[in-house]
Amino acid sequence: MTLCVAMLIGMATVQSAGAQTPPGKAASASGGTTTKRATPGADKKAAPAATGASDYAQRYATVCAACHGANGRSDMPATPALAGQHSFYAITQLFLFREGRRGNEAMTAVAKTMKDADMRGFADHIATLPAVPPPAPATAADAARMTKGQALAQEHKCLFCHGADLAGGQQVPRVAGQREDYLKMSLRGFKDGSRPGYTMAMSQAVSQIAVEDLDTLAYFIARFPAGK
Ligand code: HEC
Ligand code: HEC
């Protein structure tokens, strides 16, 4: 198990670094030339099991988009937006679902079928989806609640770990503009222990925060930065 986790982290680090390399840079690192293979018609027929990024883009569209949205912005209740999420964070969560350490029936079922290479492929694809701002809310944000949320985020170091823009990085997730229902559920889950997390970071961060304040934080983060 320990070995497995170590391997995962090694793998995720490499992937995460790769995901942050601008496409131009990656191209020049691999020689700078476009080496497109000639693909005669016959080749297509005998298409080998594709393992490239486009394969996972296709598999994402087939398997994941129904719940998470084609562009990674979910319309489904309690289903997180994945757009703009970091590869390292995504692969870690897929690992937790697969190992049954993060409980959700739908996601556990999906993750159970994944080999390590699949987790890496999906996490990599997720990292290519540009962050999509949440749809404009029907009503203006409650200014007092936003101010309270901002103060709580400052006081409890949410901004310290997740960044002043709440965009996260590496193993720390982007939370800015995430669905409010999902944020609420996640924060409550870290507090009541139903979502243990990969490390203790979040359970410690929320342990001293009252549930009403967690809900205010969710309200603030879901509308961040637009409602500021
Ligand atoms: C049936 C709906 C459904 C399908 C299909 C599905 N997901 Fe999910 N996914 C969810 C839900 C719901 C959650 C939140 C689970 C929770 O509350 O713990 C989630 C969570 C996640 C997370 C964690 C996000 C975070 O912010 O922590 C990742 C990563 C993820 N899914 C990736 C995928 C990938 C990749 C696929 C396709 C291979 C996929 N999902 C297919 C419903 C789905
Ligand atoms: C010490 C660093 C740290 C602090 C402080 C911190 N976080 Fe986190 N947060 C993390 C990490 C790391 C994760 C990934 C959780 C895991 O281990 O699986 C996370 C996960 C989350 C998630 C789940 C996102 C998702 O997509 O499922 C939310 C929401 C969140 N944090 C909000 C907050 C809020 C609100 C605060 C302030 C009360 C906060 N965080 C403070 C590091 C931190």
Digit-coded pLDDT (tens) for 148-199? 999 999 999 999 999 999 999 999 999 999 999 999 999 999 999 999 999 9
Q: How many CA atoms lie within 13 A of 157 on its CB side?
A: 9
Residue 25 falls inside a structural domain? no
Residue 179 falls inside a structural domain? yes
Residue 101 falls inside a structural domain? yes
Claim to verify: residue 76 and residue 110 sit in the same structural domain: yes
Q: CA 191, CA 150: separation in Å to the nearest integer?
A: 20
Assess whether pLDDT exceeds 70 at residue 121. Answer: yes
Claim to verify: residue 107 and residue 151 sit in the same structural domain: no
SS3 (DSSP) at 148: helix
Interval 75-94 mean pLDDT: 97
Q: CA 34, CA 55: separation in Å to the nearest integer?
A: 19
Q: Which of 8-12, 115-119, 143-147 has the lowest mean pLDDT?
A: 8-12
Picking from 82, 103, 132, the residue at the C-terminal end of a domain is 132
Claim to verify: residue 154 and residue 91 sit in the same structural domain: no
Q: How far is the CA of 187 from the centre of ligand 2 (A)?
A: 8
Residue 214 falls inside a structural domain? yes
Phi first, then psi: give them for residue 172, nearest 5 degrees.
Answer: -95, 120
**What's the CATH number where 57 sits?**
1.10.760.10
Closest-CA residue to 111 (of 98, 101, 124): 98
Claim to verify: residue 102 and residue 173 sit in the same structural domain: no
Claim to verify: residue 164 and residue 116 sit in the same structural domain: no
Q: CA 167, CA 131: separation in Å to the nearest integer?
A: 9
Query: Domain of 77?
Result: 52-132
Residue 78 falls inside a structural domain? yes
Claim to verify: residue 170 and residue 203 sit in the same structural domain: yes
Residue 120 falls inside a structural domain? yes
Q: Specify the number of domains making up the chain.
A: 2
Tell me the pTM.
Answer: 0.84
Claim to verify: residue 60 and residue 111 sit in the same structural domain: yes
Cβ of 205 closer than 6 Å to ligand 2, yes or no, is yes
Claim to verify: residue 95 and residue 149 sit in the same structural domain: no
- The pLDDT value recorded for residue 51 is 61
Q: How far is the CA of 66 from the centre of ligand 1 (A)?
A: 10
Q: Is residue 169 exposed (0-12), middle (13-18) or buried (19+ Cβ within 10 Å)?
A: middle
Residue 5 falls inside a structural domain? no
Ligand 1 nearest-atom number relative to CA 111: 38
Residue 150 falls inside a structural domain? yes
Cβ of 121 closer than 6 Å to ligand 2, yes or no, is no
Q: CA 66, CA 75: separation in Å to the nearest integer?
A: 9
